Amino acid sequence: MSASPVNVAVGILMKSNGDVLLGQRPEGKPYAGYWEFPGGKVEQDESILEALKREFMEELGVEIISAEPWCGVEYIYPHAHVRLHFYISREWIGEPQSLEGQAFAWQGTVAVEPLLPATIPLIEFIDQLR
């Protein structure tokens, strides 16, 4: 019997011009070198939004002021069964910094490769939100 999926909070920072922030998974993690939207596991007793705010502060030094739930995606990777909760934020304080040594890039049309598999179908939808 498979374990219940791990809840993951994922944030899409969107600038007024429609650019979105993608981060690259660091060495030593599954799918190292793949690009994804930043985020992380939701801890017990934590709301999705609380997890999102904590992860963005820890990974990027960015304080999210507001974020709207956008969509949920369940995905089964070889190493994990995850339920991704995507939020879109257009309001934050601070410029993203690489606090965990990961690369990141603002993208208009997303051109970085390779993309994390669960991220690929969302890119098209994001184009409709800009």
pLDDT tens figures, 32-78? 999 999 999 999 999 999 999 999 999 999 999 999 999 999 999 88
**Yes or no: domain 6-129 corresponds to CATH 3.90.79.10:** yes
**pTM of the predicted protein model:** 0.89
How many other C-beta atoms lie within 10 A of the C-beta of residue 102?
18
Distance from C-alpha of 129 to C-alpha of 90, rounded to nearest angstrom: 12
pLDDT tens digits, residue range 13-39?
A: 999 999 999 999 988 888 999 999 999
Q: Which strand ranges, in their side-by-side order, compose the sheet holding 63-76?
A: 39-41, 6-13, 81-93, 63-76
